Amino acid sequence: MADNARGRVKVETGAKRVRLYLDNKLVADTLHPLYVWEKPFYPTYYVPAKDVLADLKPTGESEHSPSRGDAQVHDVLVDGLTAAGKARTVPESPLEELRDAVRFDFDAFDWFEEDEPIYTHPRDPYSRIDVLTSNRHFRAELDGVVLADSPSSMILFETGLPPRYYVPITALNQDVLRPSDTVTHCPYKGAATYWSVQIGDQVRADLIWGYRTPFPEVQKITGLAAVYNEKVDIYLDGVLQERPKPRY
């Protein structure tokens, strides 16, 4: 493990097999991926250069990071396909572990841990999720209008995030719900779909979400819905909860 005090960048070697593809063409396959906490909230993967199967073509561009050093930008070429500017190397990094590794832009490729796809970013090995049944009465309001009311909820506790209260969709105020086309992916829970809320003439986008087919680890929230704590008033057993501040 390495910990750079200036940028607080932590580096660890993982134990999962990690593969990434560009339009079904294998780009890299490693048994020793590097977790790199470029941001404090979650890691990204760096792949040892020896495990990269695609060709990397320098673009001549570079990017500077105070903690990781000057990165050289590369195009990724594999079987006639090109991902322009989607890889970076830092051969003179102050972090020795990164000098012979490649960082691929996560969104440009399809990633797998072992044989399961991953989304958004790698799962943090130090994050944990617990889903617990609670009989504390749950109510969510916005501008004095009730959005959800339920005698109980499933509380999802996720490392580094505020508790999320999941209730049956029938506990939502159907009169204010509006369908949303938004879909997001969580590396720990799966694909979430959303509802917006309309109060009077004002529509508040994507305040409520749910996972219709979450990953097996969080099956307890299947078909339930959560309200965005940071943007509404939540009451537990009649007590108003402090709104958490958005993490990022």
Q: What is the per-residue pLDDT across 153-162, written as a single tens digit (0 to 9) for each?
A: 999 999 989 9
Terminus-to-terminus CA distance in the chain, angstroms? 26
pLDDT of residue 51: 98
Is the same domain home to 48 and 136? no
pLDDT of residue 182: 98
Domain count, the chain: 2
Is the same domain home to 52 and 147? no
Three-state SS string across 90-149, please?
CCCCCCHHHCCEEEECHHHCEEEECCEEECCCCCCCCCCEEEEEECCCEEEEECCEEEEE
Domain membership flag for residue 159? yes
Is the same domain home to 14 and 103? yes
pLDDT of residue 156: 97
pLDDT of residue 5: 41
pLDDT of residue 1: 46
- Length of the chain measured in residues: 248
Which residue ranges of the chain lie beneath pLDDT 70?
1-8, 247-248
pLDDT of residue 6: 46
Is the same domain home to 140 and 87? no
Q: Write out the residue range of the structural domain in which residue 153 sits.
A: 129-240
Q: Which tokens is 179 given? A: 């369908």
pLDDT of residue 246: 73
Q: Which of 93, 118, 143 is the last residue of a domain?
A: 118
Question: CATH no. for residue 99?
Answer: 2.170.150.40
Domain membership flag for residue 216? yes
pLDDT of residue 40: 80
Cβ count within 10 A of residue 146: 15
User: 70-111 pLDDT, tens per residue?
Assistant: 999 999 999 999 999 999 999 999 999 999 999 999 999 999
